[in-house]
Each structure stands twice: as C-alpha cells, then as structure tokens.
Amino acid sequence: MSSLSITPTIRAAGAVVLILRGSLGRTDISSFAGAVGRLLRAHRPRRMEVDLSGLLELEPGTAEAVLAVIRTASRESTEIVLSHAPSAVRQQLRAAGGEPYLT
C-alpha cells in the first residue's frame, strides 16, 4: 500500500477542497479527520469537497471510518461531498452507506 497525501486547497471560485492521493488505510483516518477539521475551522465553508481522483485504494473497513469523519464534520453546518472517486473506491463507499455524499 502506498502512502497517503492530503492536500488542502482553495479554488479560484472560493471552493474549499481536500485532495487525497495514494492509499487510505485505518492508520490514516486521524490525519484525514485532522485535515477536515482544520479546513472547517479556518474557512467555515458552507460546502467542502473531498477530491478522491488520486485515491488508489481504501484499506478494507476504511470506508466506514471515512464516512464517520464526514458525518461528524457535517454537523458543523458544512455540506461535505466526495468527488471523482475511482470505481473501486466508489463501490466501497456505496457499500458503507456513502451514496448521499458521492457526486
């Protein structure tokens, strides 16, 4: 499994985006949660996008943990969406109940 890269960015239109690249495992969840929290505190966006286009794989059982982070963060009045998920990652997220968050 390759390492995970988490890159926060603000796009020209002001959209807050968190870009994930590599492989996401259970040991990466705290880093992911921390990055989401920092962006929410710093920018207080109405909507935040988590761009999964560079995510190669999710370790088994990790989709549920990702969704738990998103559900918790969404309580802060920020809509969080998962975009550009590769097919295998999308399947795992759907199976874990993540359909409402996928774009």
pLDDT digits (tens, 9 = 90+) for 9-32: 998 787 899 999 999 999 999 999
Domains detected in the chain: 4-101 (3.30.750.24)
Query: Judging by DSSP bridges, how do beta strands 47-58 and 79-83 pair with one another?
Result: parallel
Three-class SS state of 33: helix
Reported as a single tens digit per residue, the pLDDT across 33-81 is: 999 999 999 988 889 999 999 999 999 889 999 999 999 888 878 899 9
- What residue spans of 1-103 are helical by DSSP H? 29-43, 62-74, 87-95
